[in-house]
Amino acid sequence: MNENNKVRPFGMRDKIGYMFGDFGNDFTFIFASSFLMVFYTKVLGISGVMVGTLFLLARVVDAFTDITMGRIVDSVKPARDGRFRCWVRRMCGPVAIASFLMYQSAMAGAPMALKVVYMYVTYLLWGSVFYTSINIPYGSMASAITDKPDERTALSTFRTVGATLAGLIIGTVTPLLIYTKDADGNQIVRGGSTFTIIAGVFALCAVLCYVICYKLTTERVKVEPDTDAKKVTLGQTFTAIFRSRALLGIIGAAIFLLLSQLLIQAMNNYLYTEYFGSAGAISIMTILNTVLMLVVVAPLSVPISRRFGKKEASTVGALLAGTVFLLLFFLKVKNVAVYIVLANIGMLGLGFFNTVIWANITDVIDDQEVKTGQREDGTVYAVYSFARKLGQALAGGAGGWALSIIGYDQLAKVQTEAVINGLYTTSTLIPAVCFFIVALFLWFIYPLGKKNVEANVEELKRRRENA
């Protein structure tokens, strides 16, 4: 590995560019996480159990596609525009088109068998093929933009800002467009081509963001292809990686982090409309969360991580989030304003981990190189990406199964009292438990505290200077 000194220095241009990369990712990812189940259940009329099963089965496919993509990135000769950036250029169009195809309202009148086939084909095409093909190189690119820990933390922070902005747009605009009230005043999903149009607009926005990411970022840290990569089997790769305590720790934390957060996002569409009777509250919740992330969490992420360490601060944040959501469960809050304030305090506690988690992955990659002598950015990130998708699937599965267990009727205009209370429990108790589990993984399994990270950086610097 060597550094090309002729390229421009790392700076704000790279941060902005990298931010737009996740901005683009989340125009499809957050939209799917928050509203795809709503589209499947309330527009197409597919049961929550069938949707949840799809999300889990898709992760079986991802176990192969994610790792395969990681191996491709690590072993294929870099293009003229870099090892990772070239994939952003190649795949931005296909992932946007695939996302758009998932939300075709015209399928509502099709036979149920055809709707299920359509659901499986389009979802797998988007999530397991095209999203994988752009997200894994994009995530791995951070380690090629810079090798300095503080700059990587800054990239992670800006990436989170991009995701937050996408979440703001999706979380505020979408509920206002897809929900309306019937003659009796009940919140219902708007019919017609509403979902399809929104998906098309978000797909175009995603492409624009990817183009900006490609234009503004620069790969400085040159990683030569692993000539032996193609000779290593998938089983050997998994064996080597899963011997890493650091990777296992961050994977465990990430799965439960995504399970809790995405379950909250998915259930909010039912909680606020059915329990609180206010679809507009979803937008208010999103706006407040975005403001807190941008004004409080993002500016403090780098100085806090420098002072206390990413692991240490993230653990405290996860404990705070778990405590707040457990409190919400016991209080059985009826006032939507009180609920929004308390829920945002909880998410604020977890916001730090969300902000720096991508820097944690580069720390894991460094740790892997220190211990094995091999650097596999794409493969390690692929394993982590699979874990995140597993968390996404578990959230979708848990949400779908929970709807079925509590007796939710997707065709009913008004749910029973028992169903409404079940929605509240699912939205508070399950996330609380998951947040506590995140804290346990970070503190007891994930070993890369502040001192360990600094030691690994110095060791790799010494090796490269002596190479």
Q: Helix, strand, or coil here: 188?
A: strand
Query: Residue written as tokens 């088109």?
Result: 97
User: In which band, very low, low, confident or very high, does the pLDDT at 209 lie, cut at 50, 70 and 90?
Assistant: very high
Residue type, 179: Y
Task: Name the residue ranges covered by the structural domains of the chain.
Answer: 17-466
> What is the model's pLDDT at position 178?
87
Q: What is the pLDDT, as a whole number, of residue 326?
A: 97
pLDDT digits (tens, 9 = 90+) for 41-75: 889 999 888 888 888 788 778 877 887 888 888 77
Q: How confident is the model at residue 234 (pLDDT cuts 50, 70, 90)?
A: low
Token pair of 279, please? Answer: 């679809």
Q: What is the CA radius of gyration of the chain?
A: 22
Average model confidence (pLDDT) across the chain: 85
Mean per-residue pLDDT for 132-149?
88
Q: What is the pTM assigned to this prediction?
A: 0.70
CA–CA gap between residue 174 and residue 115 (Å, rounded): 23
In tens, the pLDDT along 282-318 reads 888 888 888 888 888 888 887 888 888 889 888 998 9
Q: Quick one: how many helices (H) and strands (E) in the chain?
A: 17, 4
Note the pLDDT of residue 231.
Answer: 53
For the ranges 155-164, 229-238, 358-367, which has the lowest average pLDDT?
Answer: 229-238
Please count the residues of the chain.
467
Residue 240 — very low, low, confident or very high, per pLDDT cuts 50/70/90? low
Residue 1 pLDDT class (50, 70, 90 cuts) = very low
Distance CA 158, CA 273 (A): 32
Distances from the Cα of 100 to the Cα of 31, 85, 96, 169, 203, angstroms? 11, 23, 6, 17, 6
> Across-strand partners of 179?
189
The CATH H-level superfamily of 17-466 is MFS general substrate transporter like domains (1.20.1250.20)
Q: Model confidence at 213, in pLDDT bands (50, 70, 90)?
A: very high
Average pLDDT score over residue span 448-463:
86
CB distance 325 to 435 below 8 Å? yes
Residue 4 has pLDDT above 80, yes or no: no
What is residue 427's predicted lDDT score, i.e. its pLDDT?
A: 92
**402 pLDDT tier (thresholds 50, 70, 90):** confident
| C-alpha to C-alpha distance for 453 and 456, rounded to whole angstroms | 5
Residue range 318-338: mean pLDDT, rounded:
95
Banded pLDDT at 237 (limits 50, 70, 90): low
In 3-state terms, what secondary structure has residue 216? helix
What gap in Å lies between CA 136 and CA 140, rounded to an integer?
A: 6
